[in-house]
Structure 1
Amino acid sequence: MSKKFTKHLIAASLSCAFLNTAAFAEDDNTAHESMETIVIMGEKADRTLKDTASSVSVINEELLKTLTHLSVTSAVSEIANVVVKPGALPDIRGVSGNGAAAGFNGVTGGAKGRVSILVDGIYQPYMADLTGDSGIWDVEQIEVFRGPQSTTNGRNSIGGMIFIKTKDPSFDWEAAGRLGYRNQSDYIDTSVMASGPIIEDELAFRFTAQGLQGNDYDNSIIHPTHDPEFDLDKLKTTRYGTKLLWKPKALEGFSTMLSFDSNSEEGNSGRRYFRNDDPWAFVPNFERNMDTDTRTTKLNVDYTIDKDSSVDVLWAYMDHRWGFNSYELVEARNQLLIMNEKNVTFDGKYNFGLGDAALKGFIGLAYFEREQDYQSHTGFLYQGNDSSDSRAIYGEVSYNINEQFSVISGLRVEQESQFRDYIENAMEGEQLVHRSRSILDQENTIRLPKVVLQYKINEQHTANISARRGYNSAGGAFNWMTQQYYYYDAEYVNTYEAGLRSSLNEGNVNFSANVFFNAYQGYQAVGPNRNIDNLARVDTYGLELEVSAMLSDNVQVTGGLGLLETEMKDGTETFKDLDGKELNSAPKITANAGVKYWVNDAFNVGLSGNYVDEFFGTFTNEPEKKAGNYSLVRVHANYELENWLFNVFVNNALDRQAVTHRSPANARDPYGNAGIIDPRTFGISATYTF
C-alpha cells in the first residue's frame, strides 16, 4: 500500500468521525439488529452478514419506509466506494456500472451493464439509460455487493450487484397506506398494501400499489421554431404487484408463490444533464420524455425433501418496453426510439447438507433467453433485432475443516450466445430504405470460480480471505462518426479480498472491514476514436469499513469509509496516453456517518451525511472534467402515534452545489453539460398501518 494511500486512510478515518451520514436502523425493532441475524440472500446461500465474505452493505426496511429516497440508486448513493450519476447504473470501486451498455453503444451492441440489479432474483433490463427505478414501497431489504458476483449471477455483475427483496404474503391480516410529498419536483406519493389469508395457514395474498406524480424542477426552454410533442415537466410512476403464496397442508415442506408485477415510468427521468456554463440555472442540456414499462410474471417453487435437502425453482417471464421522445433545437432531429424486449429466466437449485454442520452446499442450473427489437423512427433512422441466451451450471460447497476453519468453493460454467443486427436506414422520398446492415454473432463458454477461507477467531470475530473471477462478454457497436460497426473483446477480473466481521456487546456493536485488490484484463473503455476497446490491464485496490453501535438505549451511531486507488496500464497505440492514469468515477475517499436519538418510544430524530472526494470524469483525466468533492447533510424526524408513522426530512440540508459529471462546451455540444446533485429537498409523509 502506497504512502499516499496510507495518508488517505488516516485523513478519511478522521473525517468519518466528524461527518454525519445515513443511519440504516430506524426504529427499536431494527436499531439493535446484529449482523448475526441479518440474512444475505443475493448469494443464494442465505448466510448471515457475519458469515458473508463478500463486501456487502445492507439497507433495511426502515430506511425505505419514507420518501427520503425516491429511487434505488438514491438509496445506495451514500454507501462507501459507490458513486451514483444521473441515468446510470451505480459505479462501484471506480468501475463504471454502465460499461459498454451506455448510450448509443448500448443500443447498437445490446451489451449488459457491469452492475446487475435483481428484484426478487430477476434481472432488471438496462439499455443506454437507467430509467424505471423510481418508487420504493413494501421493500424488505436492499443488498449492495461490491466486487464481482459472476460465480452466482453470470456475466452482468463483474462490477457488483444490487439485490432487492420485496415482502412476501403473510398469513396474518395486515395493511398499510402512505401519503407523502417532496417539494423538489412537487412529487406526491400515494401507496397502499394489503396482505392476509385466503385459506387459513394455506393460501395467502399480498397486493401493493404505488403512484408517484410530479413536475421536474428544471427550467425548460421552448424553441422558437416548434413546440414539444410532450409535457416537458411531467414525471409519473405507477407500480402495482400481486403475490399468491400456497402452502398445502397435504404436502408438507412444499410451497409455491405466483407473482405479477407492473412498473411504468414516464417523463424526464434518466440522464438529466444541465448546461455546463451554469448548471444551477437548471436549464436542461437536452429534453427527453422517457417511457419505461415492465411487466413480470414469476413462479417460485420450494420443496424441503427432508431435513438435509431441498429444491428451489424460479421461473419468470418479462415483457419490457423502453424508449424516448426527444425535443431538439432543430425539429428534424427530434427522435422517437422504441425498444421491446421479452425474456425468460429459469433457475433451479438443489440444496444439500442442510442438517450437516460440516458439509453443505448447492448445485444449480440457470437459463436466460432474450428477444429484443428496437427502432428509431424519426431523427436518426435505424433499427435492429437481438436474440441472446445463456445456459449455466453453478454450485457451491462449504466444508468445516474444524471448529474454527471452513472453506467455501464455488464454480459457474456458462455458455452464452448473442445474435444482433443493426440496420442503418434512410429516407428516399416517401420510402424508408435499408442503407447498411451490421451483424454481431458470438458464442462463448466461460468458467468462473471462487474460493473463500473463513476463520472463526471466537464467538465475536470472523476473518476471511477470498479469491474470485468476474467476466463480461465481448461485443460490438456502431460508430456514428465513422459509420462503421466494430468489435471488442471480453473483459475479466481476478479479485482478492481479506475481511473481518465483528459483533460485540450482544450484537449492539457491529463492525465490518474488507481490503481488496482487483486485476482487470481487457477492461472495456471508450478510446479517443469513440470506439469501445480493451485496455490491457487495470488495477484497483482499497478498503471498505462499516460500523454501527448502540451507545445507549436511545443513541445509535453509524459510519462507513471507502478508500480507493486505481491505475490503468496499457502500452498499445490506442490507449498510450492512458497509461498510469486513474479510472473515471474513482474518488479516493468516500465516507458516511450518522447519529440517531430516540427522545422517547414515539419520537426520534437523526442527523446524517456523506462525503465524496474529487474524481476525474474521463479516462484521460482532464482537469476541466473533474467532479465530486462534496459533502451532503440530511436530517429527519419520525413520530409514531398508535398506528401512524409521521416522517419529515430534509435532504442536502445545507443546499450544497456539486457536480457528478461535467463535460465542457465543444463543437458538438455548444453549451457543454453537467450532472448535479439534487438541491435541498424537503419531504413529509404519513403512513398508517393496521
Structure 2
Amino acid sequence: MIGSGPALAADGASTETAPAEDVTIVVTGEKQDRTLQQTPSSVAVATGRTIVDQNLISVYDVLDRMANVVVNGNRTSFSIRGIDASNVLGGGDGALASVYLDGAVLPKAALVTGPLDLTDIAQVEVFRGPQSTVQGRNALAGAVIIRTADPSYDWSGRARLLLADKTGERRASAAIGGPIVDGQIAFRLAGEIARSDGLVRNVNAGGDADRRKSETLRGKLLFTPAAVPGLRVVATYMHDRHRRGGLYVELQPPYAPEDRVSTSDLIDVTEVKSDIATLDIGYDLGSGLTLKAVGNYSHIRSHYAYDPDHSADPGQIAVIDDPNKTYQQELRLNVDWNWLQGLIGAYYLRDDNRGYFFGATQNLSLRRLGVDQSLLKLGLPQATVDTVINLYGSGVPIVNSLDQPRVTQNHAAFADFTVPITTRLRLRAGLRYDRESQRRGIDQRVAIDKPLPDPAAYPGLGPIIGQINGLLQATAAAATSYQPERTVRYHAWLPKIGLSYDVMRDMTLSLTARRGYRAGGSGLNQQRGQVFVFNPEFTWNYELALRSAWFDRRLTFNANLYRIDWKDQQVSVQLTPGSAFDKQVINAGRSRLYGLEAEFSARPTATISLGWGAGYSRTKFTDFDVGIGQVLQSAAGNEFPNAPRWTLFGSVTWQHPSGLFANINARYRSAFYQSALVQTHRDIRPLTLANAKLGWQGEHLGAFLIVSNIFNVEKPVTSALDPDGRLRGMVSEPRVMGLSFEGRF
C-alpha cells in the first residue's frame, strides 16, 4: 500500500471525503471483492485519496511509488520485480505485464503516451508476480488494474486547475455525477485538458522538443432497475488523445545533461488516440451466487514520427502507424458460501492489429550492420577497415517499408476457489486453460536510395569496396520479403495452489505456488527477410505472504517473500556479431529471481498518516543455451537489465481540522545495468527524489503549493550510444513548482 490516508469503498465512490476511521481497502483485481488484508497476492494499492494527497498525475506516478516497481527513463514502460513489462531481452510477441482500464486491456502502444492520466480515478492496484490463472494472457510479471470512479445516487463533483513553472504545464479537470432517476439510473462525467511546453530544447529543428497535450472525456451510466432487483449495469465510454514530443538529450560535451538539448534534425512526435467502451453487468442470483459479464471494445490508434539516430544528420525519418482494435468478453459466476468462495469463468479476446506499418528513410551505419567485424575477420588492419568504413560517410542510405498485419485470438476457461479446512486454515486453488492463435503476415521492402562509392575511384581499395557494395545490395535484396498470412497456435494449463493460516486475530500467513505464462509467437529478421517462430515461456512463482494489523488496525504491516524460476525464456540473439538488424527471438534462457516486498501504513494520530514501502529484487540469468549466432553464454550469472535491487518509498500526511494540509513523500531506487551482456559497472546511478504538497483544504475549496523533486536532483535515467557514436539519453526532471486549485462538493 502506498496510501497516506484511508482507502475507498468498494463501489468506487469519490474518496476525497472518506472518513478517517474507514481503513478498509477493497481489492478487486482478482475478480473477487476482498480486503487487502485478505489478499495473499503481492498487491500495492493507490486509493483515490492517495492520488489526491500526493498530487499523482499519471499511472506512472503511482508505479514510481511502489515497492519492486520501477518506471523506465522515458516513462513508456515499467518493470515489476525486475521484469520489464514489455521485454527483458527484446524477445517475445506480447507484453509481460498487462494494464487494464475499467476491465479493458491496453495494448503496449498505449503505454507510450495513452489514457493513463489519473482523471477521476477510484483506485489503482498493482499485482506483483504471475497473475496468469485469473488474468491470463500477458500477465507473467504482474498486472495493473485501474478503476475509474463509478456513478452514485448522491450528487458529487470535483474540479482542479494545476499550473506549473518550468514545464509550463496547464491542467484543468472536472467531474460531476448524480441521479437521473433516483435509485435506478445515475451518471458521471469526467474530463481533463492538459498542455505542457516541456523541458527539452532542440537546437537544430528549433523550439521545444517535448511539447505535450492531451484531452480526456469519459462518461459512465449506472442502471439498477427497481423492476429487476439484484441487477447492476455500468456502461462506460472514454475518448482520449495524447500527444508528446521527444525526450532524448545530449549527455556529452559541449552539452551537459542538465542543459536538456536535443540535436536531432526533426522533432519527434508520438500521438495516441483511444476510444474505449465497456459494459459491466452484474446480477445477484441470491444464495451467495453472482453472475458477472464484462465486455469491452477498444480502438487505439498510435502514430510515431521520429529521427532514428537522434542526430543532426538530415534526411532521416521513421514513421510507425499502429492501429489496434480489441474486443474482450468475460463471463463468470462468483460464489460466496460458508464452505466455498471463489469463481468460475470463461474468457474471449480478439486483438486486431492488421493495419501496422513501419516506414523509414535512414542511413544504416556499416558498423551496425557488422561490416567492420567481417573485414577484421578477413585479416585487414584496423586502420584499413576504418578508412573503408569512412568512405560510406554516415552510412548506407536506404528506404524501408514494413507491413505486418496480425490478428490474435485467445480463449480461456478458469476457476479460482478458497475452501476453509478449519476455522484457521484455508486452501486456495485455481486453474486456467489458455488457448491462443496468432495469424500474421509480413511484407517488407528494402532498397538502397543513393549511389554507393565507386570502386574505380579508390585505387588499392577498389576490390574491397566492390565486395562491400555487392554485400550491401545482396543484403537489401534478401531483406525484401513477402510472407503470406499464416497461423500459429499455443495452449497451456496454468495452476495455482496455496494455504492461508490465521496465526491470530489480524495476522495471516499464506504460502502460494503458481505458474506464469506467455505465449510464443513469430517475427521477422529484418536483415535476412526471414520469418522465425518461437515457443511459449513459463515461470513458477513461490510466495510466502504475511498480512497483519495492529493497535486496533491503526497500523498494518504486510510482506511478501518470493522466488521465481523461469524457463524457455524468450531472448533476442544476433546472428551476425555487431549487426543490430540480423537478429531473431529464440527460447534460450533460464533465470531465477528472488526478493521481497514489505509495506506498512499507520495513523498514529487523528491528523497524521504514514505510509512506507521497501522492495528488494535479485535477478540472475542461470543459463543461455543459444547455440547459434552471437555467443550469449557470457550472460549466465548476470542480472536483468533495468532491474535495480532496491526500491524504497515513504510518505507523511498531516491534515489539521482547520484545513491546513501537508504531504511530503520520497522515493529511492538503486543503480542498475542497461545491458544483459556488458556488466562491468552499473550504467545508471541511484536516484532519490522528494516531493511535497502544501496548502489548505476547506469543505468545498482548496489551494496548494506543489513541489516535485524538492532537492533539484538531475541525473541520467537512461542512456545509449547512437549510430554516430554520441551518448544520448534522458534526465530526471528538475525541481518544478506549481499551484493547484481544487474544488469539490
TM-score greater than 0.5 by the shorter chain: yes
Taking a change above 3 Å as real, the CA distance of residues 494 and 599 of structure 1, as seen in their structure-2 partners, is same
CA contact (8 A) 1:303 1:311 kept: yes
The match for 1:6 is none
Superposed CA RMSD? 2.5
- Counterpart of 1:583? 640
Out of 275, 300, 303, the residue aligned to residue 320 of structure 1 is 300
Shift in Å, 1:240: 0.5
Match of residue 616 from structure 2: 563
Read off the aligned partner of 1:292 and give its amino acid letter: V
Q: Aligned pair in 2 of structure 1 residues 648, 133: CA closer, same or farther (>3 Å)?
A: farther
CA contact (8 A) 2:560 2:598 kept: yes
Deviates more, 1:239-248 or 1:335-344: 335-344
- Among 33, 51, 67, the residue aligned to 1:46: 33
Residues 600 and 197 of structure 1, relative CA distance in 2, 3 Å threshold: closer
Counterparts of 2:338 and 2:496 in 1: how far apart (Å)? 21
Distance 1:463 1:200 in 2: 44
Classify 1:669/1:464 alpha carbon distance in 2 versus 1 (closer, same or farther; 3 Å): farther
**Partners of 1:235 and 1:267 within 8 A in 2:** yes
AA paired with 1:251?
A: V
> How far off its partner does 1:483 sit?
4.3
SS in 1 for 2:553: coil
SS at match of 1:75: helix
What is the CA deviation profile of residues 626-674 of structure 1, one whole-angstrom value per residue up to 9, with x for unaligned ones?
21411111122141123012232211111112233222x35x2422222
Specify the SS of the correspondent of 2:671: strand
Question: Is the radius of gyration larger for structure 1 or structure 2?
Answer: 2
Q: Is the 8 A contact 1:150 1:156 kept in 2?
A: yes
SS at match of 1:409: strand
**CA 1:427–1:532 in structure 2 vs 1: closer, same or farther (change >3 Å)?**
closer
User: How much has 1:571 moved relative to structure 2?
Assistant: 4.7
Q: Confirm whether residue 534 of structure 1 aligns to residue 587 of structure 2.
A: yes
2:317 is equivalent to residue 344 of structure 1: no
- Quick check: 1:445 aligned with 2:488? no
Give the corresponding residue for 2:365: none
2:227 aligned with 1:250: yes
C-alpha contact (below 8 Å) 1:67/1:182 kept by paired residues: no
Aligned to 1:17: none
Alpha-carbon distance, 1:318 to partner? 1.0
Q: Given residue 411 of structure 1, which amino acid in structure 2 is its aligned partner?
A: L
What residue identity is the alignment partner of 1:398?
A: T
Cross-structure match for 1:29: 18
Corresponding residue for residue 7 of structure 1: none
**Aligned residue number for residue 544 of structure 1:** 597
In structure 2, what is the equivalent of residue 643 of structure 1?
700
* SS state at 1:245 partner: strand
What is the CA-CA distance between 1:31 and the residue it aligns to?
Answer: 5.7
Contact 1:541–1:565 (CA under 8 A) maintained in structure 2:
yes
Does residue 302 of the first structure (1) align with residue 282 of the second (2)? Answer: yes
For 2:304 and 2:657, how far apart are their aligned partners in 1? 49
| 8 Å Cα contact 2:20/2:606 also seen in 1 | no
Aligned counterpart for 2:433 among listed residues 410, 413, 416: 413
Name the amino acid aligned to 1:401: I
CA pair 247-599 structure 1, distance change in 2 beyond 3 A: closer
Query: Contact 2:649 / 2:667 at 8 angstroms: preserved in 1?
Result: yes
Q: Which moves more between the two structures, 479-488 or 391-400?
A: 479-488
| CA apart distance, 1:435 | 3.5
Look up the SS of the partner of 2:643 in the other structure: coil
Farther off after superposition, 507-516 or 573-582: 573-582
Q: Distance in 2 between matches of 1:578 and 1:675?
A: 26
Decide whether the 8 Å contact of 2:667 with 2:688 is kept in 1: yes
Q: Which residue of 1 aligns with 2:248?
A: 273
Q: Which residue does the alignment assign to 1:402?
A: 422
Partner residue of 2:661 out of 601, 604, 619: 604
Q: Which residue of 1 aligns with 2:513?
A: 467
Residue 485 of structure 1: how far off its partner (Å): 3.4
Q: Give 2:151's aligned amino acid.
A: P
Distance 1:496 1:537, change over 3 A: same
- The alpha-carbon distance between structure 1 residues 520 and 678, as it changes in their structure 2 partners (threshold 3 A), is same
For residues 56 and 603 of structure 2, the distance between their equivalents in structure 1, rounded to whole angstroms, comes to 24
Distance 1:73 1:400, change over 3 A: same
In structure 1, distance between residues paired with 2:262 and 2:53: 29
Structure 2 Cα separation of the partners of residues 525 and 684 of structure 1: 46
What's the CA shift string for 1:267-313, capped at 9, x where partnerless?
A: 216xx332232332212375421010110111111111113211000
1:284 counterpart residue number: 262
**Conserved 8 A contact 1:659-1:675:** yes
The equivalent residue for 1:436 is 481
The residue aligned with 1:8 is none
Residue 263 of structure 1 aligns with an amino acid whose one-letter code is D
Distance (Å, rounded) in 1 between the aligned partners of 2:440 and 2:341: 41
What residue in structure 2 maps to residue 59 of structure 1? 46
8 Å contact 1:508–1:549 — kept in the other structure? yes
> In 2, are the aligned partners of 1:32 and 1:508 still within 8 Å (CA)?
no
Q: Is the 8 A contact 1:465 1:499 kept in 2?
A: yes
1:142 matches 2:124: yes
Letter in 2 for 1:450: K
Offset at 1:525? 2.8
Deviations 1:427-483 (A, max 9, x none): 799xxx994124663101111111121001122201100011111111233333454
The alignment status of 1:456 with 2:502, answered yes or no, reads: yes
Task: Provide TM-score, normalisation by structure 1.
Answer: 0.89
Q: Distance in 1 between matches of 2:316 and 2:295?
A: 42
Q: Give the secondary structure class of the aligned counterpart of 1:45.
A: coil
Identity of aligned residues (%): 24
SS where residue 94 of structure 2 aligns? coil
| Aligned partners of 2:3 and 2:49 also within 8 Å | no
Instruction: From the superposition, tell whether residues 140 and 199 of structure 1 become closer, same or farther in structure 2 (CA, over 3 Å).
Output: same
> Which amino acid in structure 2 is aligned with residue 234 of structure 1?
R
Residue aligning to 1:5: none
Equivalent position SS for 1:156: coil
Distance 1:166 1:485, change over 3 A: same
Report the more deviating stretch, 329-338 or 439-448: 329-338
Work out whether residues 2 and 613 of structure 2, in 8 Å CA contact, stay in contact via their aligned partners in 1.
no
Q: Which has the higher contact order (CA 8 A, sep 6+)?
A: 1
- The one-letter code sitting in structure 2 at the alignment partner of 1:436 is S
Q: Please give the alpha-carbon distance, in whole angstroms, between the structure 1 residues aligned to 2:528 and 2:112.
A: 27
Is the Cα–Cα contact under 8 Å of residues 54 and 663 in structure 2 kept in the other structure? no
Q: 2:742 aligns with which of 667, 681, 687?
A: 687
In the alignment, which residue of structure 2 is the partner of 1:73?
60
Secondary structure in 2 matching 1:510: strand
Contact kept, 8 Å, 1:646 with 1:684, in 2: the verdict is yes
Q: Secondary structure at the match of 1:615?
A: coil
3-state SS of paired residue (2:112): coil
For 1:137, the aligned partner's letter is T
CA distance in 1, matches of 2:307, 2:262: 11
- Structure 1 pair 524–221 and aligned structure 2 pair: CA distance change class (3 A): farther
1:519 paired to 2:543:
no
Which stretch shows the higher mean deviation, 141-150 or 21-30? Answer: 21-30
Q: Distance in 1 between matches of 2:216 and 2:665?
A: 29
